[in-house]
Amino acid sequence: MDEAFIQRAVELCLAVYRVTEKFPENEVLRRKFRELSIDLLSLFCYYIANPTSKSRLFICSKVKGKIIEFDAYSQVVRVQVWVNPANFEILRKEYENLASGLEMHKNSDNVANVKYKKTGISNRKELAQSKLQKEIGERSHERQDFILKLLERKKGGASNTEIAKSMKTSKKTAERHLKYLLEKGAIIKEGRTRNARFFGKKSRK
């Protein structure tokens, strides 16, 4: 059951990353939520690895504090328009469910006695994750398609900065999509670092 417990914590961490992908690139809360999800994952792993009762009591209190912090940040997100606030309500309840599992484990001192049942919240979370994954994939495809069409039009190619400006996104985001297209052999890169220019394959024939 230790493995199932950690796997659940990993899934929640990944879900937080997917949800916050919709936040503005440099938004502080994007980083805060992701750091919290990593902190919680670390605490869950440390709890399983540490058999000392006093240590486990301390870890449980730390987990509760992190979840309270997660909920506080969620309240700030609710007044924004980046994502559906229900996503964070689902995630918070799932973290609370894992925290309850720690309490049961601490009291029984036997992780085999702790069972994690899929609730309605879990099912809704899985549906939300699936939807988010689909949306992220579609958005990435749209951006890559935009880059391909842009480079086919520009016979002289374009720099990362020019592409980011046309996409109305950050240079880091543009760079990520350019790297993917280069790996797939869909575009051509000439030059290095800041002076590099990218070309569509047809435009270089």
DSSP 8-state class, residue 200:
E
Helix residue ranges per DSSP H, the chain: 2-20, 28-49, 53-77, 86-108, 120-153, 160-167, 171-183
pLDDT at 138: 61
CA atoms of 199 and 121, how far apart (whole Å): 47
pLDDT at 186: 86
Cα dist. 173→59, 87, 132, 180 in Å?
37, 24, 18, 11
pLDDT at 192: 78
pLDDT at 122: 53
Q: What angle do CA 19, 22, 25 make, to 5 degrees?
A: 125
Fold of domain 2-117: de novo design (two linked rop proteins) (1.20.1440)
Q: Where in the chain is the domain with CATH 1.10.10.10?
A: 137-204
CA atoms of 144 and 147, how far apart (whole Å): 5
pLDDT at 113: 42
pLDDT at 131: 56
pLDDT at 129: 56
Residues 3-41: tens digit of each pLDDT: 777 888 899 999 999 999 989 888 999 999 999 999 999
Q: Where in the chain is the domain with CATH 1.20.1440.60?
A: 2-117
Closest CA to 92 of 107, 79, 78, 110: 78
Q: How do the pLDDT tens digits run along the chain, 205 residues long? A: 467 778 888 999 999 999 999 898 889 999 999 999 999 999 988 888 876 777 788 888 899 999 999 999 999 988 887 888 888 889 999 999 888 877 665 555 444 444 444 445 555 555 555 655 555 556 677 888 888 888 888 878 889 899 988 888 788 888 888 888 888 888 888 887 777 899 988 766 5
Task: Answer yes or no: CATH 1.20.140.10 is held by domain 137-204.
Answer: no
Q: How many residues does the chain have?
A: 205
Tokens of 124: 């809704």
pTM over 0.85: no
Residues 6+ apart with CB under 8 A from 195: 159
CA atoms of 192 and 199, how far apart (whole Å): 14
